[in-house]
Structure 1
Amino acid sequence: MKKIMIILAAGIVLAAGVFAVFRFSGLKTEQKEAGSSDLLVSFTDQKLMTSYYENQKVLYKEKMTDYPAMALDRKHQILYYTNLDKSSGRRLIKLDLKTGKKTTLHSGDEYVDELTLSKDGSKLYMRYNLSAERNFHLASFDLKTKAFTAIYPKLNDKDETVSFYQYNQDKGQFVLLHYSEEEDYKKTDEANSKGVAPEPTNMRISLADEKQNQDIKTIAKFINDITISPNGKTAVFTATDEEGEKTAICKLDVETKEYKPIIKDGREFTLIDSAQPQFSKDGKKIFFLAEAKGAKLLKDETGNEAKVRTIFAYDTDTKKVSKEWEKPNGIINGFTVLN
């Protein structure tokens, strides 16, 4: 169940999903001054220059060489990010924003993305893949010892793969979206042999810490991301239907295991297949990526095309949606709600 994250530097393959849009006018949309939210944003322009923003402030710029993963230590003003070097492979970089000093923490063939800083600032969490294997793990990187540790699944598990995760600092807990590579490849091969669209792989949602994993729900749908509320009671994910025509952000009650769609395409926006929903610090808003109505179509220097993306916020009380962050001449790769 392989998906392509559509950014200006297209062609970087990540796990799980298909792209679809569905027009729906059930949500009210408000305009809000851009930059009013506390966000870390990765943004790539048409010349493939990636900028890391803390709200509207540019922290750092660098030519894109790989899909940009990032984490920010606000207390010590340190930006962690990844890039690809032709000679040394993929690198994990520490940038001191006060002095401009860059330190390579690790370089090698391992693939790393979705960086998150631990609450005490001693570790980075990430999706981690060894070059000789096809499945991804949730892993930690100790910033002192420079050692990786697989959290889930363990390294001897060559089948289960983590397609997305989020770290809940308040609870010291991860919410995981994971599935069986064997099942996924089997369904894809069967569909190819019949010339039909593949059936969705069973996507498992679970809660974990660094010692144990607790299954919450298994859903046979094309699910592309996952997030958890600060109180740990609600998970939210982006899902696409089997026909690839409807995309929605769904809310899952962790206790009852019941879920329902809460955000669908509105008059002012169209959801993308990985909307990357995230809760605000107080749990009252859900931020997500979408294409605003009339979004500008961009073409980069390699000829790839994509539409401008906008970060919106859904108010869980009023059900209204507001525009939070947008730049006109590039693509938002990803964002993080800052703690």
Structure 2
Amino acid sequence: MKNGRRSALRIAGLTILFIAFFLALNLFFCNDRIEPIDLSMPVFTHVAAPSSPSDLASQRNSTVLKPVKKEKQTIPAPPEAIAASEDSATAADPGVNLDKKPPFVWADPGPGIHNKPLSIALYADEPADIELMLGSAGEWVPYEKPIPVTDSLRLAFRGTDRAGNRSDPIVRHYFIRAAPALRCADAMVFVETSARTFCIDQYEWPNKKGTFPLGFVNWYMAYDSCRATGKRLCTAVEWEDACAGRNNTQYPYGNVYEARTCNTENDKAYTSGAYGECRSFAGAYDMSGNLREWTASHSEQNPRYYQVYGGFWENRGASTCRSAQYSFYPQNKFVSIGFRCCGDTLQPRR
């Protein structure tokens, strides 16, 4: 009997040693497969979403997104603003003759409607001589100082770097219009079409310039968060109208895809408003690229799905204004999907 117990104890001991040895080997060989936490992604509190829209009223507080305060991060903007300067580089740069890529030139602020006069500054992503043309029949002249705009303006600009590479001309249209009688809540812009007027958030939720838009959000969270702030989740028609503008353009900035105007050829979302020219006619930012956005509209192909618009940071030319690129079940969450809110116009102040 004693020998039997001893044998059993030996077997148990050996089994434990074998299991421990196996776990140690597993940790040693698999440790390099552990993915680090991506601290660049937005953080928000999450609770279970309601099972259907009818449950939203009773669970309103549980699905409202609340950004968590965290240490400010330094995020690279689109090509860093470098004003053209004769002192910033010289033709003696040994690598200058290897450069075959033209400079990227952009305007700040971006085009579209503005409610008061402004001054436009031009920048390049490398030392370059910037030229501009005012109107459609003007002449190319060197850019020397910000351009004042007090009325409608057609502005064309281009840049030539130290290696002689010249960028294709970029054309932007500006319109100065007094604020409409009907007004919008703070941080929203006024959208007017022949069929409707409404307001839309300038930026993706939480609708604050310079902050990260929130991704990994399901439809219920988006719907409820807009309602909690006295707004609503935009319909597909509202979203399209705000993006395409009065000229019904393919992209917020025009009909021809521009690779560096919006965050559409990248590996992550940038802070809201970082791409200053990614601005719709009405003044809403990042409606092409950055994050895809939920709408309140069902998919025509499958009414259980909701439409998602705008493309995200790596969608390239597919990030258009007039086509829903994706449709998902309302409970789906992806790091590349966020949202923005719409609302009714307010009566003029008395």
- Report the TM range for the smaller structure's normalisation: under 0.3
Whichever structure has more helix as a proportion of its residues is: 2
Q: TM-score, normalised by structure 2?
A: 0.23
Q: TM-score, normalised by structure 1?
A: 0.23
Q: Rg: which structure is higher?
A: 2
